[in-house]
Amino acid sequence: MDYRHEWKHEINGSDMIALRQRLRAVASPDAHTINGRYQIRSLYFDDPADTALREKIDGVSRREKFRIRYYNYDTSVIHLEKKSKLAGLGCKQMTVLTDAQAQAIVDGDIDWMAECGKSPSLHSGGDALLLELYAKMRGGGLKPKTIVDYTREPFIYAPGNVRVTLDYNIRTGLGCTDFLNPDCVMIPAGDAPIILEVKWDGFLPDIIRDAVRLTGRRAGAFSKYAQCRIYG
């Protein structure tokens, strides 16, 4: 697995306006955006002990979490993702789900996943990722926990494979896990800040480092999943 560097900063509305203007001058918008942004809906998993949540809050160096995600409320492309962290670096494994497969997982119908895992794909973990999720749902009690919605404005800078995002309007589905249901009630996740994220491979170009520099802002460890669990 290839790990990437990640910075996260909690910012305010004035910061976002300034950053947006700077980034538009030096970076390119993600090709998948609509008017420079897209909507993200994710369904996060956790076990009965809330291990993913507690390890994040406690700052455990080596940790992981599973989620299912789609964009702009378009369920024709759904991803199962595993995010791993190691000493501040991050990586993501991913495979594609059909809407029927995603709904089956939400409903607890998971026996079919064991069959998919018998023919692992070489693409981003492929069906091997389904098999791992199946094993952890069966053996570790992992299950869908809560929906996380937010708006993202992404920017791309090719040197260093840099991706800068502005994430805001974070909303939680509370205990709802029916994330394919467009009528699922979502509410603001408390007083959630705007989040600046910067991700890169081997080096961060000075032009991006300068563009995202904000006086008085330090890198932190904000988690949208943890923010969306504030009500339980």
Number of domains in the chain: 1
Residue 209 lies in a domain: yes
Q: Name the nearest CA neighbour of 224 among 22, 1, 97, 69.
A: 69
Residue 157 lies in a domain: yes
- The confidence score (pLDDT) of residue 215 equals 86
Q: Name the nearest CA neighbour of 197 among 158, 148, 152, 146.
A: 152
Residue 160 lies in a domain: yes
Q: What distance in Å separates the CA atoms of residue 146 and residue 50, rounded to the nearest whole number? A: 12
Residue 17 lies in a domain: yes
Residue 88 lies in a domain: yes
- The confidence score (pLDDT) of residue 67 equals 98
**58 exposure class (CB count in 10 Å sphere: 0-12, 13-18, 19+):** exposed
Residue 232 lies in a domain: no
- The confidence score (pLDDT) of residue 122 equals 38
* Pairing mode, strands 62-71 and 38-46: antiparallel
Residue 178 lies in a domain: yes
Between CA 70 and CA 189, with CA 103 as vertex, the angle to 5 degrees is 55
For 94-137, the pLDDT digits (tens) are 999 999 999 999 999 999 998 875 554 434 455 889 999 999 99
The CATH number covering residue 223 comes to 3.20.100.30
What is the pTM for the complete model shown?
Answer: 0.92
Residue 201 lies in a domain: yes
Structural domain harbouring 107: 4-227
Between CA 96 and CA 136, with CA 189 as vertex, the angle to 5 degrees is 40
- The confidence score (pLDDT) of residue 32 equals 87
